[in-house]
A and B are shown apart, each in its own frame.
Chain A
Amino acid sequence: AQKITQTQPGMFVQEKEAVTLDCTYDTSDQSYGLFWYKQPSSGEMIFLIYQGSYDEQNATEGRYSLNFQKARKSANLVISASQLGDSAMYFCAMRRENTGNQFYFGTGTSLTVIP
């Protein structure tokens, strides 16, 4: 069974500092995708960043980067230069290949940026 683990239920970061949100996953699949989503209090799910299992380079999207360590099965999200608007829930997700393309989500990390 596929499992996504986010061990940090809540995190605090000072504005303008960097923060790392942890995510580990468990799968026997060879091909899969890893994603991070942001969910502000409004409830919408906003896609942030994607990492493919065969990608050798860590993904980056603006202030977001994904620290992908395949052997350790971890896909941590790094947010640089935190802003007040980054306060939200963050979910790590994995998508399986070739099996209905199911997505599996972690339980989320609540990030609070302190001014």
Chain B
Amino acid sequence: SQTIHQWPATLVQPVGSPLSLECTVEGTSNPNLYWYRQAAGRGLQLLFYSVGIGQISSEVPQNLSASRPQDRQFILSSKKLLLSDSGFYLCAWSVRLTSAYEQYFGPGTRLTVT
């Protein structure tokens, strides 16, 4: 069966510090991978998605970046965090090339920028 891991579960970082959140998927190959951010009490904002190694699409311009160094690894980074980067970050994967399958989400990372 497939599983998706995200870490850390919670993170408190000062403004201006770097960020690295990691997501890995097990039990599947060639997945689509996604990063979302959810502000408190709000919906999900798609940040990045990837259809393959090294292929990253950005949905919203910001000071975040994403990388996919391996097929089942997706990393969200920032060189300098802003207060507005606080939120709940969710990684997800889905089967590629068909709209008939849902996304599977990781447990999320709660980031607080102080």
Q: Give me the interface of A with B, judged by CB distance under 8 Å.
A: 31-33, 35, 37, 43-45, 47, 50, 52-53, 91, 93, 95-98, 100-108
Contact = CB atoms under 8 A, between A and B. Distances in A.
Nearest to A45: B105
B51 A97 contact: no
A93 B99 CA distance: 11
B90 A45 contact: yes
Interface of B: 32, 34, 36, 42-44, 46, 49, 51, 57, 59, 88, 90, 92, 94, 96-105, 107-108, 110
B17 to A, nearest CB: 23
A43 B97 contact: no
Contacts of B32: 100-101
Contacts of A50: 100-102
A101 B99 contact: yes
A100 B57 contact: yes
Nearest to A110: B41
